[in-house]
Chains A and B, each alone.
Chain A
Amino acid sequence: MLSQLPVLPVLLPLIGAPACALLRRPTLAWVFACLVAVLAFLCTVSLFTTTWQEGVQTYALGGWPSPWGIEYRIDLLNALVLLVVSGIGAAILLASRASVWQEIGETRRGLFYVACLLCLAGLLGIAATGDAFNLFVFLEISSLSTYALVAMGPDRRALLAAYNYLIMGTIGATFILIGIGFLYMLTGTLSMADLGERLPAMGESRTAFAAYAFIVVGVCLKLALFPLHLWLPGAYTRAPSIVTVFLAATSTKVALYVLIRFTYSVFHLEFSQLAQALDTVFIALGVIAVFAGSLVAIFEADLKRGLAYSSVAQIGFMVIGLGIGTVEGLQASLIHLFNHALMKGALFLALAAFILRVGSSNFSSLRGIGRRMPLATAAFVLAGISLIGIPGTAGFISKWYLVLAAAAQQQWILLGLILAGSLLTAVYIWRFVETAYAEPEGDSVIQRNEAPLGMLLVIVLLALLNLYFGFDSRLPVETAGGAAQALLGGDAS
């Protein structure tokens, strides 16, 4: 079975989804979905260790070798993203029951979990595949299921948010399709590894440039990089709480992966004359995203929406790392990808617990939540501290490497901006802390009403992982380092 390892993490939810649709009872569907997700996660862990020890794993689907067939080509980068997505996905599904049972009508719950599995399969498929067109197909699987999941939100605005996301997402996907078409026209191949070999041989070509431009714009729409982020706050705010956790922790991460993969493995931008200009653009957009996102987050009256804007800002940090354009920068970007999944997973999941108990994510209704749900609130604060980047948490490791990368390039202004951006994070996290531990309005006595056990366990686990990876950062740091080295160093180690 070991030789089948690369395909298993994708295959399990892929086959699991239709099988799940056959289950009539929602509880059964939930149990089944969890089982599938956990199994997929275990396979990913095994795949990760194999990749770590033995290097790149290839797998020819249908037995047809690349470039004639579709190939999975798992290097450290793929393995890292797969690990994050499947791990967080499994954790969220396990924690989801109470929240889903509250927010989703009885008849929809079964299919809700089918859609979750489809989304998971799509995201994992994107992260695993070595074929450009296959990537598009799986992108659409994840996108379509996401639109439906967002539309399940309790408010009618969820429908509009889902529609906007659908329009923007489809434009993005079509742009990617155009880009892939141009690439195919230039090279005659769809395999990313093959593309990576044939494209540089073409020399500087306007078609290649246009292809890259369209793919980048398309991916950035999915990534919600400023100024293409307009769909994100609505979608995150209006979606059911669990869906928000899922999207925030996984979906943008996968988009970032695609951006990195196309930039470095397919186009080999590091050798291009355009690299300098593009790096500047990435850094500029990233910095604007950090500040615009954080500033809006600071003044938001709704915590869920605030956190959504915070995601825009955090994506900015990741893109800055990408824009620095060195091994260190890329490494920082990947480390933040890993850590941010943990932070936002914990934050949004804790928020889902608040919504479950309080019924709203408005700051005014969260007053005194710290005494009502002490553990969940503590976990939220811990993850928030990690988001700020205080030493001792995973967030610090991200920021440290980002700052290191900026310093190595003598970009002192950028360094200052990164720190100032972190400070803005502190402001909106602090706003929550103040609210959470403030006296409640009026004389209402606060009953202690902690989140359901299953949910609470996952929240606390994610928060503690933030702490753990703040002290023992070897896993993300070394993996990201190896992946960045392989992407930029040229030799696939």
Chain B
Amino acid sequence: MEVLIDIVLLSLLVATAVALVMVRGLIASIMLTSVYGLLSASFFVTMGAVDVAFTEAAVGAGVSPLLLLFTVAVIGRKERAPEGGAVLVKSLLLVVVTGALLIVGTLDMPPFGSPDAPAQTHVAPYYLQQSGAEIGIPNVVTSVLASYRAYDTLGEVLVIFTAGVAVILILASSSHRGSARLRNATVPDGSPHTILQVVGKILIPFILLFAFYVQFHGEYGPGGGFQAGVIFASGVILYGLLFGLPTVCRVLPPPVMEVLAALGVLIFGLTGVMSLLNGAPFLDYSVLADDPVTAQHIGIMVIELGVGITVASVITAIYYAFANQLEPGPN
């Protein structure tokens, strides 16, 4: 049964990818991307990777198509016919060679799904067996993410922070006129989407509430700071789409988002520095409380909070930056 689902999902994935290669026009491409994200999220579920599936659904089928749509709204949806001739031949050749190398590489691999593969026997068992005692939370993914490999996660938060800085740097017009306009703008009267606005007003509180649930339930089930941040941000974005950019900017002004983004990283980083100041290695939570397991709990809670804050505010800030392009300023 599992094999069957597997085959079906993989076939669908291939079909989507092939369609992406064939299709012309950006809107269609974006929709297919979104489908691809959803399908891969489903595939991750069948593979037992629920946390990843959650994230992929939020990002691959949510944020990423959204950003693409914003871009297309600015630049238009047309796509020229693909290049033929030499470019095509060269690309095909490169792809075939790379693919062949990959196939050759797979030949000496341990079989798919084998429990005896080195990946399953070397480091991972330690996490599965010890994390219960050492960290004391059921979700092993969260244990690894937030404690064993917390430094990677700090890097991840920094990547997101960097993306925020980069997008603002790239999109900010040379003066701050854009965001000043945002702050001073008034709510537009009489929006045409009354039904959507009403439904939205009902939905948004639940979305935000769900975000908090995901944030703090991450230790027990799938979820965590990153997913929570994405969900929170999508609530904000929904609000912005329905009621206009100026409204949402008055609630959550862009400069505040920038400060929050930095603060989230700092919360994470300074937690690590706390350990450092107490003579323990960076990000060693054991100094946070007397009982090591409690200390792990506190540490994970705090850094997940940092992750959530940064992710939510960076995604919101990126949304602002893109949406700002949609309504060209006086210059």
Contacts and interface: CB of A to CB of B under 8 A. Distances in A.
A and B touch in the complex (CB under 8 A): yes
Interface of A: 3-4, 7, 11, 14-15, 17-19, 21-22, 59-64, 67-70, 105-108, 111-112, 114-115, 118, 121, 125, 131, 133-134, 137-138, 140-141, 144-145, 147-148, 151-152, 178, 182, 184-190, 198, 205-211, 213-214
A172 B158 CA distance: 20
A185 B119 contact: yes
A63 B284 contact: yes
A189 B125 CA distance: 12
Contact of B269 (A15, A61, A210): A15
B102 A68 contact: no
B18 interface: no
Q: Which of A140, A144, A178, A213 has the most CB of B within 10 A?
A: A144
A188 B120 CA distance: 7
A105 B166 contact: no
B9 interface: no
Given A137-B159, A207-B106, A62 B120 contact: no
B95 to A, nearest CB: 12
Given A108-B169, A207-B108, A68 B158 contact: no
A148 B172 CA distance: 12
Contacts of A145: 162, 165-166
A69 B134 CA distance: 13
Contact of B149 (A3, A69, A185, A198): A69
A206 B261 contact: no
Given A137-B159, A144-B166, A69 B148 contact: yes
Nearest to A4: B276
A151 to B, nearest CB: 5
Contact-size category for B? 35 or more
A141 B159 contact: yes
Contact of B127 (A14, A18, A68, A137): A68
A412 B231 CA distance: 64
Contacts of B167: 148
Nearest to A213: B101
B306 to A, nearest CB: 10
B117 interface: yes
B236 to A, nearest CB: 20
Given A4-B276, A21-B258, A21-B261, A138 B108 contact: no
A214 B165 CA distance: 30
Interface string B152-183: 10111011011101111110101110000000
A18 B166 contact: no
A67 B149 contact: no
A62 B147 contact: yes
Interface in B245-294: 258-259, 261-263, 265-266, 269-270, 272-273, 275-276, 279-286
Contact of A107 (B101, B104, B165, B175): B175
Contacts of A59: 281-282
Contact of A105 (B104, B147, B174, B269): B174
Nearest to B269: A15
A94 to B, nearest CB: 22
Given A61-B283, A63-B281, 17 more contacts: A7-B282, A11-B282, A14-B158, A18-B265, A61-B151, A70-B149, A106-B175, A108-B174, A118-B165, A131-B152, A137-B156, A178-B102, A186-B110, A188-B118, A188-B123, A190-B123, A198-B122
Given A140-B159, A144-B162, A22 B262 contact: yes
Contacts of B162: 115, 118, 141, 144-145, 148
Contact of A121 (B156, B158, B176): B158
Nearest to B102: A210
A19 B165 contact: no
B195 to A, nearest CB: 40
Contacts of B272: 11
A238 B289 CA distance: 52
Given A134-B151, A207-B109, A62 B102 contact: no
Given A70-B149, A187-B118, A15 B270 contact: yes
Nearest to A211: B105
A115 B169 contact: yes
B150 interface: yes
B106 A67 contact: no
A133 B275 CA distance: 23
B184 interface: no
B108 A205 contact: yes
A125 to B, nearest CB: 7
Contact of B169 (A15, A17, A69, A151): A151
B326 interface: no
A409 B283 CA distance: 48
B21 interface: no
A206 B107 contact: yes
Contacts of B104: 206, 209-210
A68 B143 CA distance: 12
Nearest to B105: A210
Interface in B97-140: 101-102, 104-110, 117-124, 126-127
Contacts of A151: 169-170
Contacts of A213: 101, 105
Interface in B221-261: 258-259, 261
A412 to B, nearest CB: 34
Contacts of B118: 185-188, 198
Contacts of B283: 61-63
Contacts of B275: 63
A107 B105 contact: no
B266 A188 contact: no
A61 B165 contact: no
Nearest to B267: A18
Contacts of B168: 111
A111 B161 CA distance: 11
A125 B152 CA distance: 11
Contacts of B273: 11, 15
B122 A62 contact: no
A242 to B, nearest CB: 14
B281 to A, nearest CB: 5
A188 B119 contact: yes
B165 A134 contact: no
Given A64-B147, A134-B152, A189-B123, A114 B165 contact: yes
A207 B105 contact: yes
A182 B161 CA distance: 29
B102 A22 contact: no
Contacts of B102: 178, 210
A22 B124 CA distance: 39
B117 A185 contact: yes
Contacts of A14: 154, 158, 269
A187 B109 contact: no
Contacts of B258: 21
Contacts of A64: 147-148
B320 to A, nearest CB: 14
